[in-house]
Amino acid sequence: MQHTVLLHGHPGRVLAAGAVGLLLAVTSGSSAPTRPVAAATSPVRVVVVGDSLSTGHGTSPEQAWPALMRKDRLGAGLEVVNAAENGSGYVSAGDFDGTFGTEVEDFVTEDTGIVVFFGSENDLGYAPADVGDAALAAMDRAEALAPAAKIIVVGPPSYSATPDPALVDISDQLKAAARQAGGEFVDPIAEGWISDDFDDLIGPDGDHPTVLGQHYLLEHIGVHLEQAAPVAAAQGRPDA
């Protein structure tokens, strides 16, 4: 999975900032002082850890599902940080030698409310146990950096109704790691993502989503973010 996008001068990554909450005010009469009626609400910081399925390869960075999220109703109240790097996985080093672990290290901060791990088929060819160990280490590190964050782990999708057994092995390792780390696991293979509509959702390279495919990923991953966001927002309040 190969392509390049930019984030803060670092190729391969994208940052999309969510809307900042506004302080509302009302005026009673022409000479009445202005006073706030609702306190500003800080957006929930969401860090997306992933590979080129999350960076818009084959379309554009602006069409990647994390970028689309801020344009969707779901994006209201979220600050989306896309840490994904081409070619990366839990073990596989990406175009700039990053892994999911280094993406966590570089972008997850104490105020992060949700961390989404997505992928990766780039770990095919590595021992499944090594992938599982690296995944657990990355999840544990995310929890250490952002103790209040919700961890959502999305396994790699299969584009076939008969998935590669090695890909299933990776998915099983990620499920076990997510359970051990106290995260939520989402299994695209078991749920049959993409396999029923490959021609429309996957581009000419046979690997990366079309624009429609990126919207599909947003819909399927977004439902889990939508459920997690209110909890993350509540945990981020000073009185929570």
pLDDT tens track of the chain, all 240 residues?
A: 443 333 333 333 433 333 333 222 323 333 444 333 333 578 999 999 999 999 999 899 999 999 999 887 666 789 999 999 999 999 999 999 999 999 999 999 999 999 999 999 999 999 999 999 999 999 999 999 999 999 999 999 999 989 999 999 999 999 999 999 999 999 999 999 998 889 999 999 999 999 999 999 999 999 999 888 877 777 755 444
DSSP state letter for 144 = H
Comparing C-alpha atoms, which of 114, 110, 112, 115 is closest to residue 100? 115
Residues 6+ apart with CB under 8 A from 109: 45, 145, 146
Contact criterion met (CB below 8 Å) for 95 and 87: yes
Helix, coil or strand: residue 26: strand
Instruction: Please give the structure tokens belonging to residue 127.
Output: 């021992």
Could you tell me if residue 20 is inside a domain?
no
Could you tell me if residue 24 is inside a domain?
no
Q: Is 31 a catalytic residue?
A: no
How far apart (Å, rounded) are the C-alpha atoms in residues 215 and 132? 29
Q: What is the DSSP string of 172-231?
A: HHHHHHHHHHT-EEE-HHHHTTTGGGHHHHB-TTSSSB-HHHHHHHHHHHHHHHHHHHHH
Residues 6+ apart with CB under 8 A from 195: 157, 158, 159, 160, 161
Q: Quick one: residue 155, left, alpha or beta (phi over 0 = left, psi -120 to 50 = alpha)?
A: beta
Contact criterion met (CB below 8 Å) for 55 and 87: no
Q: Report pLDDT for 196.
A: 81
Q: Residue 127 belongs to what domain range?
A: 6-11+42-236
Could you tell me if residue 22 is inside a domain?
no
Instruction: Please give the structure tokens belonging to residue 50.
Output: 């992933």
Could you tell me if residue 226 is inside a domain?
yes
Q: Report pLDDT for 101.
A: 98
Choose the catalytic residue: 51, 158, 187, 208: 208
Could you tell me if residue 16 is inside a domain?
no
DSSP state letter for 43 = P
Amino acid, res. 23: L
Could you tell me if residue 28 is inside a domain?
no
Could you tell me if residue 215 is inside a domain?
yes
Could you tell me if residue 58 is inside a domain?
yes
Q: Is 52 a catalytic residue?
A: yes
Choose the catalytic residue: 51, 52, 123, 171: 52
The domain tally of the chain equals: 1
Q: Report pLDDT for 36.
A: 38
pTM for the whole structure: 0.81
Q: Is 208 a catalytic residue?
A: yes
Q: Report pLDDT for 55.
A: 96
* CATH number, domain with residue 90: 3.40.50.1110
